[in-house]
Structures are given as C-alpha cells and as structure tokens.
Structure 1
C-alpha cells in the first residue's frame, strides 16, 4: 500500500490488492497499450491523460473502463485487467477509483470523443510528466509511477 499527496495536495492511498476500499467504485482509470505504444487521450481542458471517468448507474466498473476507452480514444479493448484501486480524500469529497490495464486491438475513428480531442499515441511516457504542462493533473501523482511499475513487473513475471 502506498500513501502520498496528489497534485492538489489531497491524501491518496493506492493498493494493488483486490478492491481494498470499495467493491463498487464510482470512478475508473485505464492505462492503455496499442501496437506497442501508450494510448492516451487529450482532454480539452486538462491535457494528456489516460482515459477514465465515472461509472454510470447500473454499470460495472470494468464495463465503465471499456466504455471510457472507446468514448475517449475510439479504442476497442482486446483485454482489460484490474490492477489496483486508490482512495482520494479531498477537501469536499472522497473518491475511490479502480485502475485497469488494457490492450487495445484497434482504433475506430469517431465523430466525437466527448470531452476529449481523441487518441494520442506515445512511444514512452516522459520522466518529467509531473512538471510538463501538456499533461493532466491526473498524470502528475504517484499513482502513475506505481501503476506503471506494477504493469512492467507483471509483464516480466508472466514471461518467466
């Protein structure tokens, strides 16, 4: 379990255990790979970020993750895996968010990408993302750092 503060100085607790904070979280965040590149979206106000959003009423978090990827990038999810969950204790509310890792099979061109400008493919995520104005605040805390390390370690473990 990891504890740190986010971009807005909210207290964050991240765990890679099975749903340690809620069995039915109301938010999702999806780290995506497409053809050996990271697949992000460009939010119209916040900048570059991995897709994510709110879980709709009567929707499972996993289904919300798949829907959000499609809406924000046009990505058709081939595989999606729950990797962790984090709790953000903010000044006005507390949120619980599932983190997923998804492999994207194809990108569909769409008329709208909702609140985003669509897909953005990157060969690598820069080390200075915390200080890079092109990136959303969502990318600027240790959830990204720990989740990326978890994904790499899982990939290495599965190859052995």
Structure 2
C-alpha cells in the first residue's frame, strides 16, 4: 500500500512500508538509529536536528550508504540495520526515492569532524512530540518520520 501526502515544501510524497514499488532507483538513505533508551540524531549546520542520511555513492549499496552516513555524521557504528520503508518525493526539478532504515547503535566514537553536521545528538523523550520544535530540521517534521516512528514503536522495539 502506498500513502500519498505532501512534505514541508509542498512536494508530493509517495510512502510505503513495502519494497520495490517505485520504478526508480533508490539513491538516498535515511537512518533512524536508537541508542539505549534514546534516539541518535545529528545537528545539521543549516537545517538543525535530524536523523543521519544522504546520497548513495557510485558502487555503494544502500546498506553501505546507511552505515557510512551514520558514521560520517555521528561517529556511530551500528550493530543492526533493518530496512523499514521507501518513499518517493516529486518536486519541480526531479523526483527521487529514499530508503528508510531503523538501526541500533553499537558505539559512538569521537571524531575530529562530522562532515556537514556538528556530530552526534542523543535525544531522550517523546520524539513524536519533540520533532516539531524549532531546533529540529524540516525533515523531522514530515509525515515520513511520523509514520516510521509509529512503525518502529509497534513492530521493532
């Protein structure tokens, strides 16, 4: 089943928990990591608090990109990684498909730099409510994150 809604910028989004429903290669990843009783986010230097993620590099698998992006942006290594959803965003210039993963953090190491972010941010509490605060990125406010948090709560915790 595909759900349709609009994102923060009023782009049409097609979202599903099923795999392979889009006729387009998946070129982006979003990772929702948990650490103990909290969530691992990063503070993007321009957008604010958000889950790690980004583009898949040439020759890289989706899983490889998920591990790399989490490490680059937070210094975290993952002990598990589970694909939970896919979504396609249709904007004026292009469309793209993103895979969403749920992960468990094994450890976090301090690094000299975290790419375009200020490094790891561990958030405790009800992220479903917190994500709408002004310090959070627009990405966190989209329905995609809400759908995935509810799925994780019901199926994976």
Question: Quick check: 1:36 aligned with 2:44?
Answer: no
User: Please, what TM-score do these two structures have when normalized by structure 1?
Assistant: 0.92
Partners of 2:94 and 2:118 in 1: how far apart? Answer: 28
The aligned residue for residue 73 of structure 2 is 72
User: Please, what TM-score do these two structures have when normalized by structure 2?
Assistant: 0.94
CA contact (8 A) 1:24 1:61 kept: no
Gap runs ≥5 in structure 2? none
Deviation at 1:126, TM superposition (A): 5.0
Partners of 2:151 and 2:119 in 1: how far apart? Answer: 26
Deviation at 1:128, TM superposition (A): 5.2
CA contact (8 A) 1:24 1:60 kept: no
The aligned residue for residue 127 of structure 1 is 129
Stretches of 4+ aligned residues off by more than 6 angstroms: none
Deviation at 1:22, TM superposition (A): 5.2
Partners of 1:150 and 1:116 in 2: how far apart? Answer: 27
CA contact (8 A) 1:19 1:84 kept: no
Change (3 A) 1:110 1:6: same
Query: Higher mean Cα deviation, 80-89 or 17-26?
Result: 17-26
